[in-house]
Amino acid sequence: MDLKDFEKEIGYEFKNKELLKTALKHISYAHEHKQESNEKLEFLGDSILEFITSKFLYNHYINLREGEMTKVRSSVVCEESLYKIASKHGFNNYLYLGKGEQGSDGRNKTAILADSVEAVIAAIYLDSDLEHAEKFIIDNLREAIDFSTKNVGMKDYKTVLQEKLQVHGTVKIEYVLIEESGPSHRKTFVSEVKCDGKVLAQGTGYSKKASEMEAAKKALEVLK
């Protein structure tokens, strides 16, 4: 696990290598080795990510209204998008995980990978400046932002799923919160969507609403 390869992959070379290591340390590893985890960096990275995305939308999509920009940002700054970034750059090969998480395939868990991306964003910012952090964010999210702005007027996944399931008559659609975990400032929620008591799919998100939306999206993919 050579961090030089990771730096090449993300397109940024750290002056402070320890900062990068901290960004990749899950709390399970930090507890076992009595070291600092990436949670504080994750907290900072989340704010930087929202700000940079908001700034980019404001400067490059002048025809979008405030409500539309909010919808685009919400669809882009989400666990799924961050997970895709982590997968693209092979974050799972460089994470420091405790024995428990390694044993439960933590290296491939969506929430852990998404959190690590936010931590790395903060680490880049602290190691250099906002400009470098912005480059990493926009390089990795530009395509998703462009797609979302073109589809901002579309109905949300829960509405589309409801219409699809009820096309032949009324059915009972439920969203059930089945798991809640993580620190108070960054909780992760897992919800499942049911139709007439049958589970269709599960979704994960940083809010109950986001997890329900992700569950609806996955249910639509299954129903295709």
Which residues are the active-site residues? 46, 118
> Residue 36 and residue 49: Cα distance in Å, rounded?
22
Question: Distances in Å between the alpha carbon of 78 and those of 4, 33, 126, 207, 222?
Answer: 28, 30, 22, 10, 21
Judge whether 54 and 145 are in contact, CB under 8 Å. Answer: no
> Residue 59 and residue 69: Cα distance in Å, rounded?
11
The secondary structure of 68-95 as a DSSP string is: HHHHHHHHHSSHHHHHHHHHHTTGGGT-
> Residue 33 and residue 99: Cα distance in Å, rounded?
11
* Contacts of residue 132, Cβ cutoff 8 Å, sequence gap at least 6: 12, 124, 125
